[in-house]
Amino acid sequence: MSQSSGGQIDTVMQEDRIFSPSEKFVSQAQIASLEASQQMWDDAHRDPIAFWDQFAKEELHWFEPYRQVLEWQEPFAKWFLGGKTNVAYNCIDAHLGTEREDKTAILWEGEPGDQRTLTYRELHEEVCRFANVLKHLGIVPGDVVSIYMPMVPELAIAMLACARVGAVHSVIFAGFSSEAIADRNQDAGAKLQLTADGGWRRGKNLPLKDTVDAALEKSSTVEKCVVLRRTGIQVSMQEGRDFWWHELMENASPDCPAEPMDSEAPLFILYTSGSTGKPKGIKHTTAGYNLYVKKTFEWVFDHRDDDVFWCTADCGWITGHSYIVYGPFSAGATCVMYEGAPNHPHEDRFWEIVEKHRVTIFYTAPTAIRAFIKWGDHHVEKHDLTSLRLLGTVGEGINPEAWIWYHKMIGAERCPIVDTWWQTETGGIMMSPLPGAISTKPGSCTKPLPGVMPVIVDEQGDLVASNNGGMLCIDHPWPGMLRGIWGDDERYREQYWSKVPGKYLTGDNARCDNDGYYWIMGRIDDVINVSGHRLSTIEVESALVSHPHVAEAAAIGRPDEIKGQAIAVFVTIKDVEASDELRGELKQHVRKEIGALAQPDDIRFTNALPKTRSGKIMRRLLRDIAEGKEKVGDTTTLEDYSVLANLREDEE
Ligand code: PRX
């Protein structure tokens, strides 16, 4: 049961199931035993510099060799100092002249059903031509290019073309508003805007160019705009500012050598939601990031040359940057890229794509998995998913019951699941099973990858004992780490390096069990404090999701005169109607699963939860609603505003 002490997080969850990879999987895996993974981990721990040095030499192309592996002046790291490389070169040119030259790089599926494939050679040509377009438009190394495009191959081409000429891209998810684009453009000092006329989403034609037009009125640094024709929707083109992609490409030469870039030259900025309204531009640089995403892709996804890899994220998020574009292409992988929604035209669209392209590795988010469960097994059963050999999740904790469903329904109990914990800031995966070596426990991201040194501390910065929850920090720089917040070193220091001296503060709580397995317990700010016991949101939510009629749940603390905080939960249900009887049953269920302390005080049924555009539950907004606040906090990252209105109507 729960243990408590100052500043620590209590754990009430008991999850004892453990799953080992099949003999068949292990016999073909690159890292195929616990001993092999331990050896890598020990090597990296003993001498991280030598560990990364060896990989950097072997895995990246160097126009000029580096002279020093790491310079660490906390909190600023520089990796591979003095070296010159190019990320687009490592992603594409490195495969030319090898057997991968004619291998498919992108298998693209448009929402309306159109399809395109690009081999590495074809991708090279497209990227070179668009790189020449960028140069023609006056882009030089260090310029910032803002990208607001749908999930079409040209989005990846644009990112790689920026990398090729040394421009810094800032990809903005094509669901954000014109204000959000303008804020980000201003903060980054973007010079050029790339967009499309429109994009498809659930059968609707999103007017992307119109949104960009409004954004550009408030983006004082943007001089020009390139527009891809995707949906054919009518757009207005401003003379002298706006250019059609296809017209510029017509005259562009396919010959464009990659620009040798300094190891620490910025590669991209990616904005994430901060606690204040000001956008927070996470900065990643060239060589360290490239190496980190390449190696973590190969290790975690056990990549083989005959794999068809599908990461369902959008390139507008870090997952898309690292595991649709830079990691997989550096490793010479074949990637599926899908433009649209998982339920268009029907709820089986993903499984149709898996079947059609014989996908072998499938990487998605828990929010999607919970939606599949709600939609029903019959959508899955219609399709042949026998090509799959490995499954992954990212973005939130996965509730153990959702994990089990994924394992059984999608993986047919054959595919290991890699629950990958990481952040925009970390650049690549930090904790995850190595699928041929590490047995999995549902709900745990298992162990740190080689070279990653997590520590869990209490409010005083002291290490907590095993199985106790505390703040998750990282102890040593790693090549993929953020290099700062764009234009705001002070905020970088303050946010990530001030609370726990000498360590990177992740902002998540976690516990490490007696087997050395890590369990992420949610964001530090989301902890619920009931009578002095600090409970994690995910444990209460997972207990609810293990009830057969619960599809999704969000737990929050609301003020309570006696207990400090009371537990309020918002629940979406399946197969039954909401009732007081069910409310009572759910309270009892949580009590039985994890104990009286965690029994919810209020249960509110809702048909949807407020989520960010990348699918994370926005508990902060739910707290505001539970407290009856008239005006809720920052909603700029909210995906669907109608959810808020419904929640208010449903108030008890
Ligand atoms: O709270 C953790 C959660 O997502 C946060 C990072 O979000 P973002 O920067 O948008 O990047 C998402 C894609 C890497 C983390 O601080 N998170 C991410 N993966 C997991 C997770 N929580 C639990 N388990 C995970 N596997």
Listing DSSP states for 410-438 in one string gives: ITTTTS-EEEEB--TTTSS--B---TTT-
Q: Is the pLDDT reported for residue 532 higher than 90? A: no
Contact assessment for residue 344 and residue 203, using Cβ atoms and an 8 Å cutoff: yes
pLDDT of residue 3: 44
Q: Is 645 helix (H, G, I), strand (E, B) or coil?
A: helix
Q: Which two tokens stand for residue 472?
A: 């998750």
Listing DSSP states for 483-502 in one string gives: -EETT-HHHHHHHHHSSSTT
pLDDT of residue 1: 38
Q: What is the dihedral of CA 208, 213, 218, 221, to 10 degrees?
A: 90
Q: Is the pLDDT reported for residue 32 higher than 60? A: yes
* 641 — pLDDT class (breaks 50, 70, 90): confident
Q: State the distance from the centre of ligand 1 to the C-alpha of 616, rounded, in angstroms.
A: 9
Instruction: Report the distance separating Cα 340 and Cα 46, nearest Å.
Output: 45
CB within 8 Å of 134: residues ≥ 6 apart: 145, 161, 162, 165, 167, 192
Q: Is the pLDDT reported for residue 315 higher than 90? A: yes
Q: What is the dihedral of CA 307, 359, 423, 529, to 10 degrees?
A: -130
Q: Is 240 among the domain residues?
A: no
CB within 8 Å of 443: residues ≥ 6 apart: 13, 15, 397, 398, 399, 400, 403, 419, 519, 538, 542
Q: Is 538 among the domain residues?
A: yes
pLDDT of residue 313: 97
Distances (CA, A) of 278 to 75, 485, 523, 574: 22, 12, 20, 38
Average pLDDT over residues 377-402: 97
Q: Is 363 among the domain residues?
A: no
Q: Is the pLDDT reported for residue 510 higher than 50? A: yes
Q: What is the pTM of this model?
A: 0.95
Residue to mutate, 171, 449, 508, ligand 1, most ligand atoms under 8 Å from C-beta: 508
**644 against 580, higher pLDDT:** 580
Average pLDDT over residues 191-203: 96
Q: Whose CA is nearest to atom 25 of ligand 1?
A: 421
Average pLDDT over residues 619-641: 81
**13 against 588, higher pLDDT:** 588
Instruction: Report the distance separating Cα 40 and Cα 46, nearest Å.
Output: 10
Q: Is the pLDDT reported for residue 417 higher than 60? A: yes
Q: Is 353 among the domain residues?
A: no
Q: Is 637 among the domain residues?
A: yes
Tell me what the pLDDT averaged over the chain comes to: 94
Question: By residue range, what is the domain housing residue 580?
Answer: 526-651
In the chain, the number of structural domains is: 1
Q: Whose CA is nearest to atom 24 of ligand 1?
A: 397
Q: Is 576 among the domain residues?
A: yes
Pocket lined around ligand 1, Cβ cut-off 6 Å:
272, 318-319, 394-397, 419-424, 445, 506-508, 520, 523, 614
Q: Is 537 among the domain residues?
A: yes
Contact assessment for residue 507 and residue 497, using Cβ atoms and an 8 Å cutoff: no
Residue to mutate, 396, 420, 536, 612, ligand 1, most ligand atoms under 8 Å from C-beta: 396
Q: Is 598 among the domain residues?
A: yes
Q: Which two tokens stand for residue 329?
A: 């292409």
- Residue at 278: amino acid letter: K
Average pLDDT over residues 30-35: 97
Q: Is the pLDDT reported for residue 614 higher than 70? A: yes
pLDDT of residue 588: 95
* 274 — pLDDT class (breaks 50, 70, 90): low
pLDDT of residue 160: 99
SS (H, E, C) 547-575: CCCEEEEEEEEEEECCCEEEEEEEEEECC
Average pLDDT over residues 205-211: 97
* 248 — pLDDT class (breaks 50, 70, 90): very high
- Distance from the first to the final alpha carbon of the chain: 32
Instruction: Report the distance separating Cα 106 and Cα 511, nearest Å.
Output: 39
Instruction: Report the distance separating Cα 599 and Cα 589, nearest Å.
Output: 8
Q: Which two tokens stand for residue 614?
A: 């990348």
Task: Write the CATH number for 539.
Answer: 3.30.300.30
Q: What is the pLDDT of residues 115-172, one digit of tens each?
A: 999 999 999 999 999 999 999 999 999 999 999 999 999 999 999 999 999 999 999 9
